[in-house]
């Protein structure tokens, strides 16, 4: 019996809801497929006809410029028809439930839903209610998961470091509120990274985070030692209830990535950030724009990775 709701009866990807529980073969298939799409952006004609005649609905119940735009570009490069719904001023504000919205759009012959929602589990619920020929991609749900961001981060790491099996990776900052961090940790460990560190104050760490197989550091100067890849996370003030931090100035002093702190890592360490960045809070501009930063390539790679996910789903 297939217990993973993301896979069909043949063990192929039916939906992309989380990196947790996905076999390494599927993660590598997505990364390898993305590699084949990476060159499309360099062409004069950037379209390929893999999703011609398919309808992709972007359902963003939470605002996001970068993720929504890269999904839209990816779908259009695959020649799909893309429908962007401004949910905040449409059905949801009139009291329609999520499943009513999905059922109505399914009746309009949707082939794929890309959904971002403030509630954890929203994408899973959609996936469990759509017809078998419809695919759901989770573009971020609550504090739970953001699988395509994690996959584009894995693609970036592989591009610059070639292999996962000899790396030390540090994820720094607001782990508690980050769906990206959870997805990254699951992907990194599945792909064979031997040491994943989380560096954060105690107030920004989830309880029992060590169960994810990570090493915990509260002191960035210790946590940065011998690190190959540094992933900085945005301080998510909008999700914080109560005083998790004394001040952003103090946070930057102890946990913000400066040139000085970067020298504690390996000389060829790369610096990543899923964005949007708070300069002077999580990361100094000199580092964000410096030679070790791969933050802008991450955005570019995101298009190829999302093309890969959509093309694989459409083919299964």
Q: Which residues contact 14 (CB under 8 A, 6 or more apart)?
A: 5, 6, 7, 8, 127, 132, 135, 313, 316
pLDDT tens for residues 143-195?
Answer: 899 999 999 999 999 999 999 999 999 999 999 989 999 999 999 999 999 99
pLDDT above 70: percentage of residues in the chain: 92
Nearest alpha-carbon partner for 120 in 243, 18, 236, 208: 18
**Least confident interval from 35-39, 93-97, 137-141, 301-305:** 93-97
Identify the pLDDT of residue 51: 97
Which tokens is 274 given? 């899923």
Q: What φ, ψ does residue 97 adopt, rounded to 5°?
A: -80, 165
- On the question of pLDDT at 45 being above 90, the answer is no
pLDDT band, residue 89 (cuts 50/70/90): low
What's residue 46's pLDDT? Answer: 81
Number of alpha carbons in the 13 Å side-chain half-sphere of residue 90: 15
Name the pLDDT band for 142 (thresholds 50, 70, 90). confident
Q: Which CATH number fits domain 147-293: 3.40.50.1370, 3.40.50.450, 3.30.420.40, 3.40.50.300?
A: 3.40.50.1370
pTM: 0.93
- Give one DSSP letter per residue of 14-58, joined into a string: S-B--STT--HHHHHHHHHHHHHHGGGGGSSS---GGGTT-EEEE
Please state the separation of Cα 201 from the chain's center in Å: 23
Residue 62: its pLDDT value, please? 83
According to the annotation, is 158 in a ligand binding site? no
Q: Does 276 count as an annotated binding residue?
A: yes
- Environment class of residue 90 by beta-carbon count within 10 Å: exposed (0-12), middle (13-18) or buried (19+)? exposed
Q: Name the class of domain 24-146+299-315.
A: alpha beta
Dihedral of alpha carbons 256, 64, 310, 101, sign: positive
* Percentage of the chain exceeding pLDDT 90: 77
Query: Per the annotation, does 275 bind a ligand?
Result: yes
Q: Fold identical between 24-146+299-315 and 147-293?
A: yes
Which has more confidence, 301 or 244?
301
179 is in an annotated binding site: yes
SS3 of residue 252 by DSSP: helix
205-251: pLDDT as tens digits: 998 899 999 999 999 999 999 999 999 999 876 555 455 666 888 89
Check the annotation: does 66 bind a ligand: yes
| DSSP structure string for 194-244 | SEEEEE--GGGS-TTGGGGTPEEES-HHHHTTT-SEEEE----GGG--S-S
| Per-residue confidence (pLDDT) for residue 248, from 0 to 100 | 85
Rama region for 21: left / alpha / beta (φ>0; ψ in -120 to 50; rest): left
Say if CB 172 and CB 231 are below 8 A apart. yes
The residue-averaged pLDDT of 74-98 equals 77
- Containing 112, the helix (H) or strand (E) segment is strand 112-117
User: In this predicted structure, what is the pLDDT of residue 227?
Assistant: 98
Q: Where are the domains of the chain?
A: 24-146+299-315, 147-293
């Amino acid at each position: 019996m297939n217990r993973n709701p993301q896979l069909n009866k043949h063990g192929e990807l039916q939906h992309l809801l989380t990196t947790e529980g996905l076999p390494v073969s599927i993660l590598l298939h997505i990364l390898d497929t993305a590699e084949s799409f990476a060159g499309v952006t360099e062409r004069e004609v950037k379209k390929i006809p893999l999703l011609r005649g398919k309808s992709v609905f972007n359902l963003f119940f939470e605002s996001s410029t970068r993720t929504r735009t890269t999904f839209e570009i990816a779908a259009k490069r695959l020649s799909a028809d893309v429908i962007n719904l401004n949910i905040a001023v449409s059905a949801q504000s009139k009291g329609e439930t999520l499943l009513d919205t999905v059922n109505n759009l399914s009746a309009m012959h949707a082939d794929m839903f890309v959904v971002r929602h403030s509630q954890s589990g929203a994408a899973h619920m959609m996936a469990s209610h759509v017809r078998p020929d419809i695919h759901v991609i989770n573009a971020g749900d609550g504090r739970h998961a953001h699988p395509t961001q994690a996959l584009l981060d894995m693609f970036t790491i592989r591009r610059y470091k070639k292999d996962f099996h000899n790396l030390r990776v540090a994820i720094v900052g607001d782990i508690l509120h980050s769906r990206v961090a959870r997805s990254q940790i699951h992907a990194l460990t599945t792909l064979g990274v031997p040491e994943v560190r989380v560096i954060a104050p105690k107030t920004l760490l989830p309880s029992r985070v060590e169960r994810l197989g990570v090493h915990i550091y509260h002191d960035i100067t210790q946590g940065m030692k011998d690190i190959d890849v540094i992933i900085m996370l945005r301080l998510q003030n909008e999700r914080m209830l109560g005083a998790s931090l004394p001040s952003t100035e103090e946070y930057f002093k102890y946990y913000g990535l400066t040139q000085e702190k970067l020298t504690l890592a390996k000389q060829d360490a790369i610096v990543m950030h899923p964005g949007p960045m708070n300069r002077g809070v999580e990361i100094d501009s000199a580092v964000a724009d410096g030679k070790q930063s791969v933050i802008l390539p991450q955005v570019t790679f995101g298009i190829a990775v999302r093309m890969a996910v959509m093309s694989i789903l459409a083919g299964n």
